[in-house]
Structure 1
């Protein structure tokens, strides 16, 4: 449903994701919306078991509530941004190293803070954090320059460490680590050079060479600190509306045990 390709980019590590099966992607996003995170993750990595979906589906009333709040918010831009975040949460699992953990996705379309967080671990220590900024937009360059770069500048200046610590502790806990151990591990982190960034954005046309211009200046050092990820979606709003309808249908089928 998602294919990953590496690209040459003078400013960062270049990655392109191609949606190969819209229907299967919609089914997997529906599973995320009903908190079947492990099943969704296993599907994207190809390790899903036939009987891994919960035996007790959610009631139809709750499904309708999810549809209303997540897929039909007053602002369509929130819907599109939310769905794109979920797509990129799946995409993050396509190239994880051993020990890496991806924070659970946000449950609301307008959540503040980092859009996602990937914890990189080795030898019982957190060695790096990938802070993800996801933007579903028709104006990718201006959004990168005017919205994303200021956010990254704040992180690079040492801001929002409390948010990062909380996200790391919660994510380590979801992996089975005791809270006291997670807190102790986070307090031992040396923040210098540990932040990595993944800017993940939609394109309606082909990726331009200057899309991520300035990334290398804003985040100096090794190139693995900077990733520019794109998904080409022609006619973004129309595509997302059709996709949301497919996810809605999948949610109703889930409630019916299909």
Structure 2
């Protein structure tokens, strides 16, 4: 079964909503571990075919690297054993957001892989939806994924400014480069992909998706209205082009991420070396 329950929900007249809940934490943890091993393509295959979580292959070094990505290390030390909590949890949430999008949009959407490095900055996520004959881009969706202790302020002061820059095409090169790579993944040759990628700057075909991990305190229509207030600052587009998504977690958010990371690490520790995938 899919690890997440994803459903549409009400927010307000300015944006549409999605609400996510975890249905299978073991499967989710396994997919996060596989993504941490650099195997998002394998994770996509598992989600599409509804298979049990299993990496395409493993090595002791790859498993050790993935475990470091999933471990909290607050003080600098050498060798590194983990990352600061905000980076570790940010990586996990970006992976969950990617999994949710893959479940909702299926294999017909072409999506940028989650950042494998927990220190990576820049574009959180990008999704292209192509016409049936792959001669045009129907929709470009820009993701902002945030795991914050203050989601309301983070949306207002970080997500909206980031989306505004994207909307004004002030940071186009990064999106164009990512889109060109996705078009190549769709089987479009380099020359055609380079030309077609220009469509990602078309604001009439642009969607924005802001995703947050929220506790039950914001898990209501009024809570979502508070969280996503001001989304209409991204102007000259329709309600359907602004999406607010919420992963609902228990009141102790950071403890929940600790538990999920622990499940992912435990999953990695069960893996043997060599070919493991299906």
TM-score of the pair, normalised by structure 2: 0.84
1:223 aligns with 2:239: yes
Equivalent in 162, 172, 179 of residue 151 of structure 1: 162
Per the alignment, residue 77 of structure 2 pairs with none
Q: Distance in 1 between matches of 2:50 and 2:39?
A: 12
Deviation at 1:60, TM superposition (A): 1.1
The residue number in structure 2 matching 1:93 is 102
Q: What SS is found at the alignment partner of 2:114?
A: coil
* C-alpha displacement of 1:38: 3.3
- Secondary structure of 1:13's counterpart equals strand
Q: Counterpart of 2:178?
A: 167
RMSD: 2.2
Task: Choose the corresponding residue for 1:180, options 191, 196, 203.
Answer: 191
**Number of aligned residue pairs:** 255
Deviates most, 244-253 or 96-105 = 96-105
1:214 aligns to what? 230
Counterpart in the other structure of 1:244 = 261
- How big is the shift at 1:190? 5.6
**In structure 2, what is the equivalent of residue 8 of structure 1?**
10
SS at match of 1:114: coil
2:271 aligns to what? 254
Q: Deviations over 1:6-59 (max 9, x none)?
A: 1111131111011111111101111222233333223334x14579853xx322
1:34 equivalent to 2:37? Answer yes
- Distance in 1 of aligned mates of 2:140 and 2:153: 26
Q: SS in structure 1 opposite 2:271?
A: helix
User: For the Cα contact (< 8 Å) 2:169–2:201, is it kept in 1?
Assistant: no
Q: Which one of 19, 22, 32 corresponds to residue 22 of structure 2?
A: 19
In structure 1, the residue matched to 2:88 is: 79
**Which residue in the other structure is 2:67 paired with?**
67
Change (3 A) 1:212 1:36: same
Distance 2:260 2:112 in 1: 24
Report the Cα distance in structure 1 between the residues aligned to 2:255 and 2:54, rounded to whole angstroms: 33
Q: Give the TM-score, by structure 1 length.
A: 0.90
CA distance in 2, matches of 1:51, 1:9: 33
Q: Distance in 2 between matches of 1:223 and 1:148?
A: 17
**Cα distance change, pair 84–97 in 1 and its aligned pair in 2 (3 A):** closer
- Gapped regions of structure 1 (runs ≥ 5): none
Structure 1 residue aligned with 2:75: none
Would you say the 8 A contact 1:41–1:93 is kept in 2?
yes
Please list the CA deviations of residues 212-250 of structure 1 after superposition, one character each: whole Å capped at 9, or x if unmatched. Answer: 111123233222210000011121111111111111111
Secondary structure of 2:244's partner? strand
